[in-house]
Amino acid sequence: MVHLKINNIDCYYDSVKIIENISFQFQTGQFVGILGPNGSGKTTLLKSISHTLKPKTGTILLEDEDIYTLKAIDVAKKMAVVSQGANIAFSFTALDVVLMGRSPHLSRFAMESEKDVEIAKKAMTYTGTLHLQDRPITELSGGERQRIIISRALAQEPQVLLLDEPTTFLDVANQLEIMELLKQLCNNKKLLVIGVFHDFNLAARYCDSIVMLKNGKIVTAGKTDILTSENIKTVFSIDTVVKQNSITKTPYIIPIMVSHQVPYRSLTVHIICGAGSGSSLMNLLIDNGYNVTAGVLNLLDTDQETAGFLKIPTTIEAPMSPISDTTYKNNLKLIKKANFIVVTSFPYGYGNIKNLDAANFAVEHKIPTFLLDESLIELRDYTKGQAQEKMQILKNKGAVSVKDEKTLLAAINYLAKTCTDSKNISLKSIASAAVIAQMEVTS
């Protein structure tokens, strides 16, 4: 049984303190989730544990040995890291990528031995990727690439596996597959897995323990039952309803911020979203007095659960099912009634690419359309470029990109105040609203 002990560490970037007085300990066989808002110090904590950012004070002990007294190559034999958005630009085969994980065990300029190849293939077998060994990494889907990156980490033969948002930009099916794999690594391989997550419900379902950070400090830590409405409110400043999942018996969190305001001039915003990307925006728009509709959403998707709780009219498709012609047409009915359209930043596969066709319908019918570009479309496109092409067509036709929800709200508010007829707003006015909103937000 291997123990990892974090003792009262403070970490700085230059003179700025990022995390303060962090202490906890876990052992192999546990799955630990680190949760917190942006800027709370999650990634910094992971960097410190991984021997990348030395704490200014405090110690990090692995098997009672301070990792910062060890050489980086020796730490890499015990600890592996899967970074956020790990990307490999060159067309290495999947097996070549996994073999890179053997580097800490090789002497300088040495080639991989048969044993190294055997270990790499064993790692790929465990992750279900051995059949991909001869495929170029650049030709694999997002889920396949992520499993290859985890295989590379396993090839290091670590005792501790650190992951920075391992499910980011993956569709729901791949998110579940990756989380199932990580859970198996804890149970079967007895690894200590520590991951940074944004999705409450994935963490609640799969993790054994949770550490909640805010402003660089631990607010609370413990089993998943610490995910209470009160703790989430303290850490994330949002209201939630916490229920028990009837199947997994784990906490299930529904974000909620019900407003009692009268809708702003009875204007409606239709959100094209999925995979949880629209939940906070639904709350934000309702809290600011707008009517909201949404679609097409998959049943049991986080956005669908949030919309149901908020009583938002939606078009819904069966779980994991492609958008049917009937559902697509029902979505267009909601779009026709809307004053504004927002396309959030969510992954596209062949099953939901019709949502971009719906957005194109909105633009062609001169409904002001905003693209919430919080992440690059290249990282969310699992349709071999089709989604990127459709997104570019939207922009060419007049859909306007905004970088975050705050800027989006400011742009919609500006148009709502200055335009008497939201059904007859010029493309120039929409673009100007986005620029003015950006200036307002950054000033």
Where does the pLDDT of residue 424 fall: very low under 50, low under 70, confident under 90, or very high at 90 and above? low
Cβ neighbors of 308 (< 8 A, separation 6 or more) are 314
Cβ neighbors of 208 (< 8 A, separation 6 or more) are 30, 31, 32, 186, 223, 224
Q: Kindly report, residue by residue over 125-183, the tens digit of the pLDDT.
A: 999 999 999 999 888 888 888 899 999 999 999 999 999 888 877 778 888 889 999 99
Residues linked to residue 22 through DSSP beta bridges, in sequence order: 9
Q: Kindly report, residue by residue over 357-412, the tens digit of the pLDDT.
A: 999 999 999 899 999 887 788 888 889 899 999 999 999 998 998 888 888 888 88
CA 424 to CA 386: how far, in whole Å?
Answer: 30
Does 264 score more than 60 pLDDT?
no
> Cβ atoms within 10 A of the Cβ of 196, count?
23
pTM: 0.60
Asked if residue 248 lies in contact with residue 52, where contact means CB atoms within 8 angstroms, the answer is no
Asked if residue 98 lies in contact with residue 182, where contact means CB atoms within 8 angstroms, the answer is no
CA distances (Å), 131 to each of 93, 141, 173, 180, 407, in order? 12, 14, 20, 20, 45
Give SS3 for 99. helix
Residues linked to residue 66 through DSSP beta bridges, in sequence order: 61
Instruction: Name the token pair of 250.
Output: 């784990």
Query: Residue range 246-270: average pLDDT?
Result: 71
CA 73 to CA 306: how far, in whole Å?
Answer: 46
CA 140 to CA 51: how far, in whole Å?
Answer: 30
Place of tokens 């055997």: 118
Q: Kindly report, residue by residue over 57-68, the tens digit of the pLDDT.
A: 999 999 999 999
Which range has the worst mean pLDDT, 63-67, 68-72, 318-322, 434-438? 434-438
Element spanning 16, H or E = strand 16-27
Report the sign of the C-alpha dihedral through residues 28, 31, 37, 43, in that order.
positive
189 torsion bin: left (phi>0), alpha (psi -120 to 50), beta (else): alpha
Asked if residue 315 lies in contact with residue 341, where contact means CB atoms within 8 angstroms, the answer is no
Decide: residue 373, CB within 10 A, 0-12 exposed, 13-18 middle, 19+ buried: middle
Domains and CATH numbers, the chain: 3-218 (3.40.50.300), 264-442 (3.40.50.1380)
CA 281 to CA 193: how far, in whole Å?
Answer: 31
CA 344 to CA 274: how far, in whole Å?
Answer: 8
Instruction: Name the token pair of 297.
Output: 């959403």
pLDDT of amino acid 234: 92
